[in-house]
Amino acid sequence: GGIITQTPKFLIGQEGQKLTLKCQQNFNHDTMYWYRQDSGKGLRLIYYSITENDLQKGDLSEGYDASREKKSSFSLTVTSAQKNEMAVFLCASSTGDERLFFGHGTKLSVL
């Protein structure tokens, strides 16, 4: 089996700050995803990547950048944190058989 590791687990930032979230997977999966989870709103796709150096925008990409420099890692940057923003960011990877494997999430709080 494999694992998806997200760092940090908790991230506290200041308004206007640039914040970076990291994700590593050892499944050797091609496709990786970043989702944002807000209470009562389900999951919304921010970015995904089908291979190294590929980036595809999801429905919620505005205000975020992403980077896939290696097959095993996918990072997400909040370009300017919004005051009182609070959400969980979930990284996932895909086997190619329409199943997603998720990390445990990074919980973001902005003061």
Which residues contact another protein (rule: CB under 8 A)?
4, 31, 33, 35, 40-45, 48, 50, 56, 58-59, 90, 92, 94, 96, 98-105
DSSP, collapsed to helix, strand or coil, labels residue 25 as strand
Nearer to another protein, 13 or 105 (CB): 105
Q: Kind and range of the H or E element at 84?
A: none
d(CA 102, CA 18) in angstroms, rounded, equals: 24
Least spacing, CB of residue 19 vs another protein, in Å: 20
Least spacing, CB of residue 22 vs another protein, in Å: 15
**Residue that has been written with the tokens 């999951």 in this structure:** 43
d(CA 14, CA 40) in angstroms, rounded, equals: 24
Nearer to another protein, 11 or 80 (CB): 11
Least spacing, CB of residue 45 vs another protein, in Å: 5
Nearer to another protein, 18 or 57 (CB): 57
Nearer to another protein, 62 or 83 (CB): 62
